[in-house]
Amino acid sequence: MDNGLDKAREHFIQALCRIARFWGFPKAMGAVYGAIYLSPEALTLDDLVRLAGVSKGSASIQVRSLERLRMIRKDLRVGDRKDYYSPETDFWKMIKSILGQREKQEFDRALGAVAESLDMVHKAGAADLIRAAFLADRMKAMKDFFGQLDGLVRIILALDSLKAPFPGMTTGENGNEPR
Amino acid sequence: MDNGLDKAREHFIQALCRIARFWGFPKAMGAVYGAIYLSPEALTLDDLVRLAGVSKGSASIQVRSLERLRMIRKDLRVGDRKDYYSPETDFWKMIKSILGQREKQEFDRALGAVAESLDMVHKAGAADLIRAAFLADRMKAMKDFFGQLDGLVRIILALDSLKAPFPGMTTGENGNEPR
DNA sequence: TTTTTTGTTTAGAATATTTTGAACGTTCAT
DNA sequence: ATGAACGTTCAAAATATTCTAAACAAAAAA
């Protein structure tokens, strides 16, 4: 019953779990996306309990996150109270969505906090002018860097073909040789 | 004694802690880098215990990681057994180093595991040809995507001026308006 | 040799995160 | 109305991670 295809499926889903963790998501999110991605049919929550090996509660939470990131879609069927989930398969779209949501959010926080620190230095620097100047310098350098990074991200998001921003990128040799 | 500059310093270091966690590093790593970055002098392990508020053991581990990522440098002084740490201040260099090391490692893993899964399908697909074809299709799509991503990363790493790959990127308006 | 100074390791404590399972609310069919 | 089928929530359990403090090792000084 546990044939080779199921083995392959397991292996693939495990890989997605790793990737999810690496990006700071729960591994169940990877498992749920994997199960949906490898299914020819849209899946229900109960399917996910079977196919992704998670509890129903967890499945419920993960599909919500995944939908928010636009990695899956919820399909409703008339005369059927179940929710059906199918995968987004355009990975570049997904990346853009994730960059635009999750990253941006944390990003703005960071930029904001650094800017605040710099302000605090400006408003405080009466006693030790040399130290204040040094701190302001360093903080400003980082703030400027974040500003540039933000600009870069925004440009990437604006590209309508993120797929091939540089010539020679889509030639598609396997691309796994050591750098 | 807790003057405004110290407050600002704290605030900044806290921000770095957040950033560290977001990137999947321990927050102590952010604190240690922050302390070093905001010091006009190179710091010793014991300085870090004071200034970053971590234990010596933790400091020891974090400086090793940071050095490995080329975010700090270890300076040795003749006739002095202490190690002195000073920050790398070229953030673009740091990004390249991190992309090249940490990301690449996990990346190759992922790409490898997906490729393996695909092989497993190829070698297993005797019983259910339709299903095998479907799985192979999906897995191949993801494998190809990873290949492209890897290519993109390699191109970025190869740019010698990551700072301004696009025109209009270094104009330096604060860059924090909503997208 | 012994003591001091310094960096490293590690077992266990502390903390943070994820997962589960059961309770709950809603909607629909009977 | 009642019960069945769903999805959601939440407190508690399980798990994973991080941190500390103490022991340790190496090297230099006394």
Task: For residue range A112-147, list pLDDT tens digits in order.
Answer: 999 999 999 999 867 899 999 999 999 999 999 999
Tell me the sheet residues that pair with B114.
none
* Closest C-alpha to B31, from B101, B41, B5, B43: B43
Residues above pLDDT 90, as percent of chain B:
73
Q: At what angle do helices B104-124 and A4-22 cross, to 10 degrees?
A: 170
Q: How crowded is residue A14: how many other Cβ atoms within 10 Å of its Cβ?
A: 16
In terms of Cβ atoms closer than 10 Å to its own Cβ (0-12, 13-18, 19+), residue A98 is middle
Positions on chain C within 7 A of a protein C-beta: 5-11, 17-22, 27-29
For residues A32-55, give the mean pLDDT.
98
Residues above pLDDT 70, as percent of chain B:
87
* CA B43/CA A161 separation, integer angstroms: 46
- Predicted confidence band at A168 (pLDDT cuts at 50, 70, 90)? very low
Greatest mean pLDDT among A98-102, B47-51, B149-153? B47-51
Q: Which of the residue ranges A90-104, A135-149, B159-173 would you say has the lowest mean pLDDT?
A: B159-173
For residues B38-42, give the mean pLDDT.
98
* CA B52/CA A40 separation, integer angstroms: 52
DSSP-assigned states of every residue in B92-141: HHHHHHHIIIIIHHHHHHHHHHHHHHHHHHHHHTTS-HHHHHHHHHHHHH
**pLDDT higher than 50, residue B173:** no
Q: Pick from B12, B148, B169: which is nearest to A155 by CB?
A: B169
pLDDT for the residue A178: 41
From B173, which residue of chain A is nearest by alpha-carbon distance?
Answer: A147
* CA B177/CA B154 separation, integer angstroms: 30
**pLDDT higher than 90, residue A1:** no
- Predicted confidence band at B154 (pLDDT cuts at 50, 70, 90)? confident
User: Chain B within 8 Å of A137 (Cβ-Cβ)?
Assistant: no
pLDDT in tens, B120-136: 999 986 789 999 999 99
- Predicted confidence band at B159 (pLDDT cuts at 50, 70, 90)? confident
Q: How crowded is residue A134: how many other Cβ atoms within 10 Å of its Cβ?
A: 16
Outline where B38-103 has alpha helix (H): 45-52, 56-68, 91-98
- Predicted confidence band at A162 (pLDDT cuts at 50, 70, 90)? low
For residues A4-14, give the mean pLDDT.
96
pLDDT for the residue A164: 55
From A170, which residue of chain B is nearest by alpha-carbon distance?
Answer: B148
Tell me the sheet residues that pair with B76.
B83
Q: Pick from A9, A114, A147: which is nearest to B175 by CB?
A: A147
**pLDDT higher than 60, residue B170:** no
Side-chain-facing half-sphere of B121: CA atoms under 13 Å:
23
pLDDT in tens, B43-76: 999 999 999 999 999 999 999 999 999 999 999 9
* CA B179/CA B177 separation, integer angstroms: 6
**A150 close to B175: Cβ distance less than 8 angstroms:** yes
* CA A49/CA A76 separation, integer angstroms: 19
- Predicted confidence band at B103 (pLDDT cuts at 50, 70, 90)? confident
Q: How crowded is residue B8: how many other Cβ atoms within 10 Å of its Cβ?
A: 25
pLDDT for the residue B163: 58
* CA A94/CA A114 separation, integer angstroms: 29
For residues B7-26, give the mean pLDDT.
96
| Average pLDDT taken over every residue of chain A | 89
pLDDT for the residue B157: 81
Nearest C-alpha of chain A: how many angstroms from B79?
A: 29
Residues above pLDDT 90, as percent of chain A:
73
User: Which one is predicted more confidently, A24 or A1?
Assistant: A24
DSSP-assigned states of every residue in A9-34: HHHHHHHHHHHHHHTTS-HHHHHHHH
- Chain B residues lying within 8 Å of A37, measured CB to CB: 138, 142
Q: C19 C1' – A28 CA distance, angstroms? A: 9
